[in-house]
């Protein structure tokens, strides 16, 4: 719709208005003409029935005179009966037209006067309501649409000789009396008027009205269209042409005022002011471009010097990072070798000889526990330096989490024994094999379990549980302890590097603050997550969720 011209939209709207108006006028005119025709036919039917009723009344009032001359010498009545005369007069009224007249009633003396369904409804209405004076409708008659009109026939005093009381007595015509009283309904005059002529006249009138109305409507809408073209679209076309000239770079544009309307003149004035402002801006643009070009060249020179400085700084940082990594790797190697030897000799000493007393046993446990704790810290530092240097790669393989749990217990159990802490792990029987980096998951669990032992007072509990959750396709590694807990405000930052919940200089617990940061890095490298639930003084629960098939991008 946005690309259709305004003239086209107006033309379409005008066509729709013409069509709707013509349909509405046709419907209104047809209905009005039909109502007018029905009212005219009703008046004709009413006049005709009044005339026939007058003849009937005349015949009834002169019935006595007719009877005086209508008997034979033998006393047999052979005169003109009022009903016969009335029917004959009715036929004479309609003999020169296509009208049909009848006198109808229920149980008539003449079977030809038996009512049809429409006449029966009219008679029912007359009998039910004495005030009802007519019954009419456009209906079907012998397969054609006609106007039917019925008026009630009231019993006069002169009618009682033949139709009055007592009911069943034989009147002069040889028929049984009906037992009617004066004022009763004695039947109805039924008139059938064909609609052929009226329908043709109605159609002709409708066509003439529609042609006249349509012509007037078309003329009005054409005038409106021309007025809109002159008052709206022509000025807008001028403005559009001016905009197109500005788009091509021709800013020397000034639109002349039009006689269409004040609004259009205001719009053109504002357009001319805009064009003048654009011309003024464009005249200063070249000078501004030169100034901006010089400033840009100067800025580029500054940026180039800064880029060189940044490259030099980055080179120094890369060298320093390499030196740091090499130093940490060397130190870690040099420290890990004697620590490993100390742990191995301690285990060998514990296997081959019993301690002389409890003090010697405690000393051995201290040596082994401190050595393992120091080894964990050295491993954390070395792993973090590798991460910083970008030398950590995922070695994906099929992993049995039971093997990892066993190795973690071997490392953490001496630390737990040192503080008389109960350490245990449990694995659900339905936990599947997973695709992961064995060493990194072991490092995650060693850090979590080591932290749990470190921050749990003597006599506490540490539990490692591994469960399978098929609804999300993950295994959950949960480490729960009964330790000191973590405050709500510290639970977000404990996964940052070199951060502990208690970071004061006098903190009771030693450590590098790298364990949880590494655990988070390794969990996310597997496409998993790590979270904590804790309350200060009531222990903590760390949960690591690892996809069974590795991260999504790895599967893809």
Across the chain, which has 556 residues, the per-10-residue mean pLDDT values are: 64 76 76 80 84 71 56 53 62 70 85 88 91 90 89 82 83 81 86 80 73 79 76 73 74 68 74 75 74 86 88 77 64 68 77 81 78 73 66 83 93 89 94 92 91 92 95 95 91 73 47 75 91 92 91 49
Question: For the purposes of burial, counting CB atoms within 10 Å of the CB of 446, is it exposed (0-12), middle (13-18) or buried (19 or more)?
Answer: buried
Helix (H, G, I), strand (E, B) or coil at 128: helix
Please give the helix or strand (H or E) that residue 342 lies within, else none: helix 262-352
Handedness of CA 11, 15, 16, 20 (dihedral sign): positive
Rg (Cα) of the chain, in Å, rounded? 58
- CA dist 528 and 436 (Å) reads 11
CA angle, residues 113, 114, 117, in degrees to nearest 5: 130
Q: Take residue 74 and report the two structure tokens written for it.
A: 């033998």
pLDDT value at position 82? 57
β-bridge pairing 461-469 and 422-427: parallel
Hey, what long-range contacts does 55-58 have (CB within 8 A, 24 or more apart)? Answer: 55/85, 55/86, 55/89, 55/90, 56/82, 56/86, 56/89, 56/153, 57/156
Half-sphere exposure of 473 (CA within 13 A, CB side): 9
User: For position 493, what pLDDT does the model report?
Assistant: 82
- At 426, phi and psi to the nearest 5? -140, 145
Instruction: Please tell me whether residue 181 adopts helix, strand or coil conformation.
Output: coil
Determine how many CB atoms are found less than 10 A away from the CB of residue 266: 11
Give the pTM. Answer: 0.39
The pair of structure tokens assigned to 383 is: 């792993």
Tokens of 147: 């106007």
- Cβ–Cβ < 8 Å for 499, 493: yes
């Amino acid at each position: 719709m946005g690309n259709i011209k305004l003239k086209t939209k107006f033309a379409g709207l005008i066509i729709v208005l013409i069509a709707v108006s013509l349909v509405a006028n046709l419907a209104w005119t047809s209905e009005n003409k039909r109502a007018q025709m029905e009212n005219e036919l009703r008046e004709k039917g009413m006049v005709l029935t009044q005339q026939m009723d007058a003849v009937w009344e005349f015949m009834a009032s002169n019935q006595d005179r007719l009877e005086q001359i209508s008997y034979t010498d033998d006393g047999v009545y052979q005169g003109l009966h009022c009903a016969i005369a009335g029917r004959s007069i009715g036929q004479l009224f309609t003999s020169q037209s296509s009208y049909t007249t009848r006198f109808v009633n229920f149980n008539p003396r003449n079977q030809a006067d038996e009512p049809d369904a429409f006449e029966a409804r009219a008679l029912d209405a007359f009998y039910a309501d004495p005030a009802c004076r007519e019954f009419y409708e456009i209906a079907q008659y012998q397969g054609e649409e006609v106007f039917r009109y019925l008026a009630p026939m009231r019993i006069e005093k002169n009618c009682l000789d033949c139709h009055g009381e007592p009911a069943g007595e034989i009147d002069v015509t040889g028929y049984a009396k009906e037992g009617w009283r004066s004022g009763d309904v004695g039947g109805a005059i039924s008139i059938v008027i064909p609609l052929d002529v009226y329908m043709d006249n109605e159609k002709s009138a409708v066509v003439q009205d529609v042609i006249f109305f349509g012509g007037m409507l078309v003329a009005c809408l054409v005038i409106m269209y021309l007025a809109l073209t002159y008052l709206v679209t022509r000025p807008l076309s001028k403005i559009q042409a001016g905009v197109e000239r500005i788009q091509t770079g021709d800013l020397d544009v000034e639109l002349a005022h039009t006689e269409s309307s004040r609004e259009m003149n205001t719009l053109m004035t504002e357009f001319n002011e805009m064009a003048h402002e654009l011309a003024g801006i464009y005249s200063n643009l070249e000078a501004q471009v030169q100034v901006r070009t010089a400033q840009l060249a100067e800025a580029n020179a500054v940026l180039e010097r800064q880029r060189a400085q940044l490259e030099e700084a980055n080179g120094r940082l890369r060298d320093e990072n390499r030196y740091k990594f090499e130093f940490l790797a060397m130190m870690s190697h040099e420290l890990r070798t004697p620590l490993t030897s100390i742990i191995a000799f301690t285990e060998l000493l514990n296997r081959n000889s019993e301690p002389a007393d409890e003090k010697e046993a405690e000393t051995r446990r201290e040596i082994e526990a401190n050595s393992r704790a120091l080894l964990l810290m050295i491993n954390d530092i070395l792993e973090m330096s590798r991460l910083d240097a970008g030398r950590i790669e995922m070695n994906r393989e099929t992993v049995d989490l039971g093997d990892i749990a066993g190795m973690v217990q071997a490392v953490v159990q001496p630390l737990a024994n040192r503080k008389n802490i109960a350490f245990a792990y449990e694995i659900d029987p339905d936990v599947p094999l997973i695709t992961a980096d064995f060493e990194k998951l072991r490092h995650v669990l060693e850090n979590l379990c080591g932290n749990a032992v470190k921050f749990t007072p003597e006599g506490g509990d540490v539990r490692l549980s591994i469960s399978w959750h098929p609804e999300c396709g993950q295994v959950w590694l949960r480490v729960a302890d009964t330790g000191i807990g973590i405050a709500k405000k510290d639970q977000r930052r404990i996964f940052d590097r070199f951060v502990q919940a208690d970071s004061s200089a006098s903190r009771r617990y030693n450590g590098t603050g790298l364990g949880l940061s590494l655990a988070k890095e390794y969990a996310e490298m597997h496409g998993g997550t790590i979270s904590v639930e804790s309350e200060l003084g009531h222990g903590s629960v760390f949960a690591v969720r690892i996809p069974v098939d590795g991260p999504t991008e790895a599967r893809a």
